[in-house]
């Protein structure tokens, strides 16, 4: 059988792919060598701007299967009957480091799921922690700047990290999570995932419920100590990518069971914690976990760049029966994520295979822009309404309306009876075993002791004292001991 012919991007056959055209043997190269110029020009443009956060990631395809009836809470089609399967793509990631960083580091992990439903793509973009460091999106750029490389030194600086946390007591709960045993997952397969935000479900009767998503790993939670992680990161910076790839290739398909906490919308206003505060959880004794289904990953991408790096998840990709809540951080992400993808990938990034709907067809009036391939033919109009049988609106909202009141302006979040920044951090500390507390204290002290300013150290210690007196005392003693060495 004859070999396929190598061609240029315009389809012309390539005569020589080993030697550039030159002016005589050993002479200077020629500008007319179209194949050489095309190869070098494409090579210069092979990379796109990496994500500012969640730059380093891995992904896989699979399916989600409904195992329990949740139609009392949502009329989302892909959740409408037990046994229903929906194709998914999942991307895992670290948060703070760049594309070239190591996997086995102490950092939250992104846990993003794209459901290719018959009513459009639904993107659930969360983390492996149920809470986050800040509760208002106006603080998010500052937070990320404090955690990433310093503009002068070009490295992550303990002074910056802990200085921001010193001025952000709301971060105490997430810091306790991050510095605890689950701060460094052993692999992507061995960690839980959370929607983190509060979302709205609406049933067929129009009743609204607020929900939180919990993906519980069926492989069991496994984590690394700081010492184990340092060794693994040095030996194989791609440890989590390698683990996920090889597990799926040998037929060991990782899975998670999805549960939700469900709060009737009428209970939100009087709940003791602000249910829309991303730094808070809903205790399970108040709203128990209710099983929904099973997520399974069983196919690796064929091309990491095309399918993982170019995968675009946007929290504003809802489907009928699911919508947003007044969660401030979620509201900010509804804009920020889609805008980031338009910057990185172009306005037509939704036409890429990994981002395009699979169980339905997108029909809209978007045309043109960089890499446009959606002309839709000579008779398709690019405006609405029209007289040419173009797609029309349904008049049916995706979710129930959110009630609003009061005056516009910059407002602090409404205070509920238990809304301070330390109660839940203290609760988490007291849930830990003595061995877990020892490791938590050691992890915090290891970073905080490197801070150069005493006032920054004292502000952070005050947060741990406020969460739990023993917690604060032990961290203070550990920091003092390390600084005296």
Just list the catalytic residues.
54, 127
The dihedrals phi and psi of 103, each to the nearest 5 degrees, come to: -80, -40
CA 63 to chain centre: 19
Alpha-carbon span 307 to 61, nearest angstrom = 10
Alpha-carbon span 28 to 30, nearest angstrom = 7
- b/e per residue, 240-276, with b = 16+ CB within 10 A? bbebbbebbeeeeebbbbbbbbbbebeebeebebbbb
Q: List, in order, residues 6 or more apart from 417 with CB less than 8 Å away.
A: 272
Assess whether the previous peptide bond of 385 is cis (omega < 30° from 0): yes
Alpha-carbon span 461 to 438, nearest angstrom = 16
Query: In a 3-state reduction of DSSP, which class is residue 264?
Result: strand
Smallest CA-to-CA distance from 354 within 295, 294, 296, 300 is with 300
Q: 73 near 211, Cβ under 8 Å? A: yes
Which two three-digit tokens encode residue 280? Answer: 């808070």
Where would I find the beta strands (DSSP E) of 221-268? Answer: 255-264
Q: What sign does the dihedral 16-18-22-25 (CA atoms) show?
A: negative
Alpha-carbon span 115 to 301, nearest angstrom = 16
Count of CA atoms in the C-beta half-sphere (13 A) of 137: 14
Neighbour-count burial of 224, counting CB atoms closer than 10 A to its CB (0-12 exposed, 13-18 middle, 19+ buried): buried
Smallest CA-to-CA distance from 163 within 466, 471, 457 is with 457
What is the CB neighbour count within 10 angstroms for residue 308?
20
Smallest CA-to-CA distance from 425 within 176, 124, 220 is with 176
Query: In a 3-state reduction of DSSP, which class is residue 366?
Result: coil
462, 467, 470, 476: CA torsion to nearest 10:
-30
Q: 185 near 119, Cβ under 8 Å? A: no
């Amino acid at each position: 059988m004859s070999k396929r012919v190598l061609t240029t991007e315009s389809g012309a056959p390539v005569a020589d792919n080993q030697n550039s055209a030159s002016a005589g043997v050993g002479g200077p190269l020629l500008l007319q060598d179209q194949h050489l110029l095309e190869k070098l020009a494409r090579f210069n443009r092979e990379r796109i701007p990496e994500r500012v956060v969640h730059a380093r990631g891995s992904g896989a395809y699979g399916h989600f299967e409904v195992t329990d009836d949740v139609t009392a809470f949502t009329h989302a089609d892909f959740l409408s009957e037990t046994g229903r399967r929906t194709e998914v793509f999942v991307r895992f990631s670290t948060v703070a480091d760049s594309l070239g960083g190591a996997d086995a580091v102490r950092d939250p992990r992104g846990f993003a799921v794209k459901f290719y439903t018959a009513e459009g793509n639904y993107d659930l973009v969360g983390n492996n922690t149920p809470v986050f460091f800040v509760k208002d999106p106006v603080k998010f750029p500052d937070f990320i700047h404090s955690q990433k490389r310093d503009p002068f030194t070009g490295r992550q600086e303990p002074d910056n990290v802990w200085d921001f946390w010193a001025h952000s007591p709301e971060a105490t709960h997430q810091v306790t999570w991050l510095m605890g045993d689950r701060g460094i997952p052993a692999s992507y397969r061995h960690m839980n995932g959370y929607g983190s935000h509060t979302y709205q479900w609406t049933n067929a009767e129009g009743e609204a419920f607020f929900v939180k998503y919990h993906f519980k790993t069926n492989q069991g939670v496994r984590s690394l100590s700081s010492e184990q992680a340092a060794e693994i990161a040095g030996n194989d910076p791609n440890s989590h990518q390698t683990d996920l790839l090889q597990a799926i290739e040998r037929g060991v398909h990782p899975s998670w069971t999805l549960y939700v906490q469900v709060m009737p919308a009428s209970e939100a206003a009087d709940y003791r914690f602000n249910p829309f505060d991303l730094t808070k959880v809903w205790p399970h004794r108040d709203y128990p976990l209710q099983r929904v289904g099973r997520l399974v990953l069983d196919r690796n991408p064929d091309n990491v760049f095309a399918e993982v790096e170019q995968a675009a998840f946007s929290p504003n990709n809802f489907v009928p029966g699911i919508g947003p809540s007044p969660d401030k951080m979620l509201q900010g992400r509804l804009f920020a994520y889609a805008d980031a993808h338009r910057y990185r990938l172009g306005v037509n990034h939704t036409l890429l295979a990994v981002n395009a709907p699979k169980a339905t067809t997108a029909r809209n009036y978007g045309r043109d822009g960089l890499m446009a391939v959606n002309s839709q033919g000579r008779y398709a109009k690019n405006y609405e309404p029209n007289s040419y049988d173009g797609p029309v609106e349904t008049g049916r909202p995706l979710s129930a309306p959110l009630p609003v009141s009061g005056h516009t302006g910059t407002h602090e979040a409404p205070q509920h009876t238990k809304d301070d920044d330390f109660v839940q951090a203290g609760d988490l500390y007291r849930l830990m075993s003595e061995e877990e507390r020892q490791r938590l204290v050691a992890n915090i002290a290891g970073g905080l002791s490197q801070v150069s300013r005493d006032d920054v150290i004292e502000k952070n210690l005050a947060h741990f004292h406020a969460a739990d007196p023993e917690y604060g005392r032990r961290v203070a003693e550990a920091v003092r001991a390390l600084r005296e060495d």
